[in-house]
Chain A
Amino acid sequence: MKIFNIESLYAGYDKTPVLKEITTSIKEGDFTGIIGSNGAGKSTFLKTLCCLLQPISGKIEFLGKPLFDYESSNLARQMAMVPQFVENILPFHVNKFVGTGRFPFQNFWDNESKEDKEIVHNSLVTTRTLHLKDRLLTELSGGELQLVCIARALAQSKKLILFDEPISNLDINHTIQIMDLLHELNSNGATILTVLHNINIASDYCSNIMALKNGTIFFEGIPDNCVTGDSISSLFNKDCSVKKNPVTGRPYIFPHPGFTKNLRSN
């Protein structure tokens, strides 16, 4: 089943399109990685999908209905977004913060119901952050904060979660921990759409890769087919070689350092 169906989408800021002529679809259960260089339109694409930006023209259908026909609270019940940064981090207790994920499900007067508390608890367990629940957000490390943000998204929706560079600025340990978590959520039925800068991580984990260049889709497909030396070289305008990751069997990219140019030409 198609979650998103996008046809000739143009979107951007102040009427200048960043995205041009995007036609694609996201299917239920996909683990899609969006790659591309800075400024290629990856974040813009994500923002357009969660209604933070109005498209200039084109069509976005969400579960068969135009995206902008959905009431914002109804949409918030069906998809969650983990931003690259939370704009303004306040000294909130972690379980309260994760509890904000239940906001779209509550009426004006409702307090946290028993069900809400249970869902918050389960999200903390899934992300292995239960031990942090009484800490303040401002006291957490970058990796812990990212896990807590994912727990918050999970409390909001288990079906569809969008991530904007979830592993930027994290060490290898946290990177793998978070990508494993995404993989686990995906195998439990979540559709995941994530912007990634690390192509090798994208190739190892994603079921589907979408590469953006200058606001258009440059290539799209399963990593085994579309992550090749040529495709990545022309995506970033940099020479690359490709080998297989000995553990996952997925393609692994080695960008060529500039100083090796002379060595190779000899």
Chain B
Amino acid sequence: MKKKYKYILLAILGGLIIISSLSFGSIFISPQDMISFINGSGELNELQIILSLRIPRLVMTLIVGASLAVSGVLFQAILKNPLADPFTIGVSSGASLGACFGIIFYMSDLFILLGAFVGSICASSFVYLISKLRRFGSSFLILSGIALGFIFWSTVLLLFALSPAQQVHKALLWLMGDLSIARYSMLWRAVPFSLFVVGLSCIYHRHLNIIAFGDEFAHTLGVTQRDIRNLFWIASILASVSVALAGIIGFVGLIIPHIVRVLFGSDHKRIIILSAISGAIFLSLCDTIGRSIASPYEIPIGVITGFFGGIFFLILMMNKGVSE
């Protein structure tokens, strides 16, 4: 298939998914109804649902999906490891500890969000500092991230063991990804910030192309340690922001970059932008499925991304093969 058709297909798919994510949910609102809102007619309570619940949730899903996918692209390039993702260096476990702490001690949503953000930034700072002693070797980064992850996870489990069942349940739901806290008040800040950081990573697309071939190779072309550190922080911040907003949503950061590489090649200029778009679309598709498949109950988004994403990826891998 030609690249042009792939782009067109992606655009059509994206449009369909965005419209259906506004339509489906606890009550179905057809696209015709939505058009009638624009004309000024239609039912007021449906308009209310779209404006105050579904649009902010859609925006948050898109921004979280895009951030996770781009963060995955960056980590896979700087760690030169196809199995790396935003959570390899311990971002998720740090965020989990911060958020679970907030949930267990009955704090408000804002503090849970802050707790997750601070936790994940602490995790990446720690990994950054200890790997700085070893000139940022990629296996050192990965291993220290994994070790740190175990320490944080054990602490989370300790918290669970000592807490009332109701709060543990709430914390578990957060760990599976929770998009229900989307409100305009926080999106107002989070969206421009994430877009700005994604934009920063686009500037580095030529660096990424070179770093992915190897550190020494990159160094002889004039890429400095500072460039690599900047990329590390861009990737960590993207991961932290999305984890703070939506909890732990695995899979997107790991698999979306691979899918994009299989379909569109290895040039990071394309990979970054297309991963952002595909990640956003993929996550809103999963969210729509999660909200409507067992309505009025919501299936946690982390469950849907893992389940359907995993199946889709296996099929793609069987058909096209995945580049190492």
Chain A interface residues toward B at CB < 8 A: 47, 50-52, 72-77, 80-81, 83, 86-93, 96, 100-101, 103-104, 106, 108-109, 138, 156
B323 at the interface (CB under 8 A from A): yes
**B222 at interface (Cβ–Cβ under 8 A)?**
yes
**Contact at B222–A90, with CB atoms within 8 Å?**
no
CB <8 Å contact, B212 and A104: no
What is the chain B residue whose CB lies nearest that of A77?
B222
B residues contacting the other copy or chain, number (CB 8 A)? 22
Which B residues are CB-close (under 8 A) to A47? 216
Whether B222 lies near A75 (C-beta < 8 A) is: yes
- List the 9 closest pairs (A to B, CB-CB), nearest first: A87-B214, A76-B222, A73-B222, A104-B222, A81-B220, A72-B222, A90-B266, A103-B221, A91-B323
Pairs A–B under 8 Å by Cβ, sample size 20: A50-B220, A52-B219, A72-B219, A72-B223, A76-B220, A76-B221, A83-B217, A86-B217, A87-B215, A88-B214, A90-B213, A91-B261, A91-B266, A91-B323, A92-B267, A103-B222, A104-B221, A104-B222, A109-B203, A138-B323
B209 within 8 A of A: yes
Q: A86-B214, A91-B261 are in contact. List 4 more A-B contacts (CB 8 A).
A: A87-B214, A88-B212, A103-B210, A108-B203
Report A244 CB to chain B, min CB distance, Å.
38
Known contacts being A96-B267, A100-B210, A109-B203, is A88 close to B80, with CB within 8 Å?
Answer: yes
Q: CA A257 – CA B219 in complex, angstroms? A: 42
Q: Which residues of chain B are within 8 angstroms of A101 by Cβ–Cβ distance?
A: 221
Q: Residue on A with the closest CB to B261?
A: A91
| Interface hits, B211-240 → A, CB 8 Å | 212-217, 219-224
A52 pairs with B220, CB closer than 8 A: yes
- Give the most central of B206, B212, B221, B323: most A CB within 10 Å: B221
Interface residue B192 (Cβ < 8 Å from any Cβ of A)? no
A88 touches B213 (CB 8 A): yes
Task: Given A86-B213, A87-B215, A90-B266, check contact A80 B220 (CB 8 Å).
Answer: yes
Distance, CA A100 to CA B265, complexed state (A): 16
Contacts of A90 in B (CB 8 A): 212-213, 266, 323
Q: Which B residues are within 8 Å of any A CB, using their own CB?
A: 80, 203, 206, 209-210, 212-217, 219-224, 261, 265-267, 323
- Expressed in whole angstroms, the minimum distance between the Cβ of B222 and any Cβ of chain A is 3
The SS class assigned to the A binding surface is mixed
Q: How far is the CB of A3 from chain B (nearest CB, A)?
A: 16
Complex interface: chain A residues within 8 A of B261 (CB): 91
Residue of A at shortest CB range from B225? A72
B152 to chain A, nearest CB (A): 30
Main secondary structure of the interface of B (DSSP, over half): loop
Contact present for A91 and B222 (CB under 8 Å): no
Contact A100 B216 (CB under 8 A): no
Taken together as a complex, chains A and B put the C-alpha atoms of A47 and B267 apart, in Å, by 28
Chain B residues with Cβ below 8 Å from A91 are 261, 265-266, 323
Q: Please, which residue of chain B has its CB at the minimum distance from the CB of A162?
A: B220
Query: Of the candidates B80, B222, B323, which one forms a contact with A87 in the assembled complex, judged by CB atoms under 8 Å apart?
Result: B80
> Which of B215, B220, B261, B267 has the most C-beta atoms of chain A within 10 angstroms of its own C-beta?
B220
* Bound Cα distance A91, B321 (Å): 12
CB-CB nearest in chain B for A74: B222
C-alpha spacing A100/B266, complex, angstroms:
13
- In the bound complex, CA of A52 to CA of B203 (Å): 25
Structural contact, A87 and B216, CB atoms closer than 8 A? yes
Bound complex: CA A47 to CA B206 (Å): 24
Most buried by B among A75, A90, A104: A90
Among residues of B, the one whose C-beta sits closest to the C-beta of A104 is B222
Chain B residues within an 8 Å CB radius of A93: 265
Please measure, in the bound complex, the distance between the C-alpha atom of A87 and the C-alpha atom of B216, giving whole angstroms. 8
The answer to whether B212 touches A100 (Cβ under 8 A) is no
A100 contacts B209, CB within 8 Å?
A: yes
A192 to nearest B CB, angstroms?
16
Q: Which residues of A contact B224 (CB under 8 A)?
A: 72-73
Q: Chain A nearest CB: distance from B271 CB in Å?
A: 11
Chain B hits for A81, CB < 8 A: 220
Q: Do B266 and A106 have beta carbons less than 8 Å apart?
A: no
Which of B212, B213, B214, B323 has its CB near the most chain A CB atoms (within 10 A)? B213
- CB distance B221 to A156 under 8 Å? yes
If A91-B266, A103-B222 touch, does A83 touch B216 (CB 8 Å cutoff)? yes
Query: What distance in Å separates the Cβ of B209 from its nearest Cβ neighbour in chain A?
Result: 6
Contact of A52 among B210, B213, B216 (CB under 8 A): B216
* Cβ contact within 8 Å between A92 and B266: yes
Q: Residues of B contacting A52 with CB < 8 Å?
A: 216, 219-220
* A90 CA to B323 CA, complexed, in Å: 8
Hey, which chain A residues are within 8 Å of B323, CB to CB? 90-91, 138
| Chain A residue nearest to B220 in the complex (CB) | A81
Residues of chain A with a CB closer than 8 A to B212's CB: 88, 90
Provide the residues of chain B in CB contact with A86, threshold 8 Å. 213-214, 217
Chain A's nearest CB lies how many Å from the CB of B55? 34
Quick check: B217 and A87 within 8 Å, CB to CB? yes
In the bound assembly, the distance between CA atoms of A156 and B212 in angstroms comes to 18
Cα A81 to Cα B216 in complex, Å, equals 10
Q: B124 to nearest A CB, angstroms?
A: 23
